[in-house]
Structure 1
Amino acid sequence: MALLRTLLFLLVFYAGTVPIVLGTLLFSLFAEGARFIIPHLWGRWFLLCTRVILGIRLRIEGALPREPALIAIKHQSAYETIALLALFDRPATVMKAELQKIPFWGWAAARQGAIFVDRQGSASSLRAMMRAAQAAVAARRPIVIFPEGTRVPPGQTPPLAAGFAGLYKISRLPVIPIALDSGRVWTRDFVKRPGVVTMRIHDSIEPGLPRDAIEARVHAAINNLEG
């Protein structure tokens, strides 16, 4: 049954994804707002399909931020990378540069304002990331980052990647740490199984803290689903 549900999900979700991505490419050429509205609808479509077809429900503990912030999220699966488009207002998501090479999707993500970064951490790529972040701040958009730098299985707590502290300093935004456990139900296996993804939104952390202090607080918060 789980296999059949997974196959049905892929069929239905991607059947809806194709016109959404193409719509982003087309309408963003003529209507500036379309590059944000259409990805938001895609995120909502994803959450609808995962809930109705796969039986995966999202439980949010705490209040979603409504003001510009640096949103630091635990990364356990592909689930949160799409869901965040529906949860936040015009998010500028920091993502690996390889994703920009995906045909059509990469261009659509760039039009939506994603911040691409080379995980090798070259000086030029970090400067490009900072320029893109400054543009997002100027537009009063939230910046979403997976501060550990990569997707990790449940239970693993690697140190934060170097780019987080730089973004925190240059953006001068408060940080909203978010813990989650999506990796329990949205595993790397092909077959997805029903369950609940818990997303815990912790209290805001003020800007201007020393690097050691902000990294310690964010690392502790994104790995804590207890409050």
Structure 2
Amino acid sequence: MVLFRSLIYWLGFVLITPVYAILSLMALPFPRVPRYRFVTGWCKIMVFLLRVVCGLHYKVIGRENILKQPAMLMSKHQSAWETMALTQFFPPLVYVLKRELFKIPFFGWGLRVVSPIAIDRSNRAEAQRLLMEQGHERLRDGFWIGIFPEGTRVAPGKRAQYKQGGARLAISLGVPIVPVALNSGEYWPKNSLKKYPGTITVSIGPAIQTAGRSADEITREVENWIETELARIGGTGPCYPRA
């Protein structure tokens, strides 16, 4: 039954995404925030399908920690779910991502329209320049900046090295960091067709100030909060590794 419902979801994804991508290109003449609100309607549809077709719900703890002014979001990354769902309860949000994602047919088109900060990881000097330049632009436009500090999806029960690039960017931009822990990979595993029913927990932590602090100190505080909170909220889903 899980596989059958998951295949229905993917059918909806395949049918809806090309149409939405083409419509998104028509939004290019408009300012960034209206474009964002239109394109992330696709995220809302996908999260809705996950709920009604796959029985995959979510709950959010700590909404009061979302700042009124643009800031940086640093989140655990276990699944593709959070790339869509975080746009549903955070203010306008752009991710720092690999430029290669623009090459994905249809999905990449819509992605380009929401003005993410896309970098070429093979050219570190150019990537750093773009991070600073586009980071300032997005903040001026009222966007939050979203970063997955481990740099990739990490399976439940595991952790990767937290990179300092996000903290350095936050220091340079003069913005605080709001940490986010979540257990999405316990219901939607990496590289899996299956989406399991249940309730993903998202926990939003208090803002971490960056002024006058080192990137190493900030990164360690972000990591400690996320991993400690994940130990509290995680371990409940069907895909969590058990001994």
Both structures adopt the same fold (TM-score exceeding 0.5): yes
CA shift at 1:121, angstroms?
A: 5.7
Equivalent residue number for residue 63 of structure 2: 63
Alignment counterpart, residue 218 of structure 1, candidates 218, 222, 231: 222
SS at match of 2:63: coil
Asked if 1 retains the 8 angstrom alpha-carbon contact of 2:78 and 2:156, the reply is: yes
Equivalent residue number for residue 16 of structure 2: 16
Asked if 1 retains the 8 angstrom alpha-carbon contact of 2:177 and 2:209, the reply is: yes
Equivalent residue number for residue 238 of structure 2: none
1:73-100 alpha-carbon deviations (Å, 9 max, x no partner): 0000111111122222221111122212
* Deviates further, 113-122 or 7-16: 113-122
* Deviates further, 141-150 or 92-101: 92-101
Q: Distance in 2 between matches of 1:94 and 1:219?
A: 18
Q: Distance in 2 between matches of 1:137 and 1:108?
A: 21
CA shift at 1:31, angstroms?
A: 6.4
Q: Distance in 2 between matches of 1:145 and 1:62?
A: 19
Aligned AA (1:87):
F
Write the mapping of 1:193-204 to structure 2, written as runs, cut at 5 A: 193-204=196-207
Q: Does 2:50 align with 1:50?
A: yes
Asked if 2 retains the 8 angstrom alpha-carbon contact of 1:186 and 1:192, the reply is: yes
Q: Does 2:193 align with 1:187?
A: no
Q: Distance in 2 between matches of 1:168 and 1:53?
A: 38
Q: Structure 1 regions of 5+ residues with no counterpart? A: none
Alignment counterpart, residue 110 of structure 1, candidates 103, 112, 130: 112
Asked if 2 retains the 8 angstrom alpha-carbon contact of 1:68 and 1:142, the reply is: yes
User: CA RMSD of the aligned region, Å?
Assistant: 1.9
1:169-200 alpha-carbon deviations (Å, 9 max, x no partner): 12211110000111111013222211211111
Aligned AA (1:28):
L
Q: Distance in 2 between matches of 1:122 and 1:147?
A: 16
SS at match of 2:178: strand
Q: Distance in 2 between matches of 1:157 and 1:4?
A: 31
Equivalent residue number for residue 73 of structure 1: 75
Q: Structure 2 regions of 5+ residues with no counterpart? A: 234-243
Equivalent residue number for residue 125 of structure 2: 123
Asked if 2 retains the 8 angstrom alpha-carbon contact of 1:24 and 1:34, the reply is: no
Q: Distance in 2 between matches of 1:121 and 1:70?
A: 23
Asked if 1 retains the 8 angstrom alpha-carbon contact of 2:7 and 2:193, the reply is: no
Query: Alignment length, in residue pairs?
Result: 227
Asked if 2 retains the 8 angstrom alpha-carbon contact of 1:42 and 1:86, the reply is: no
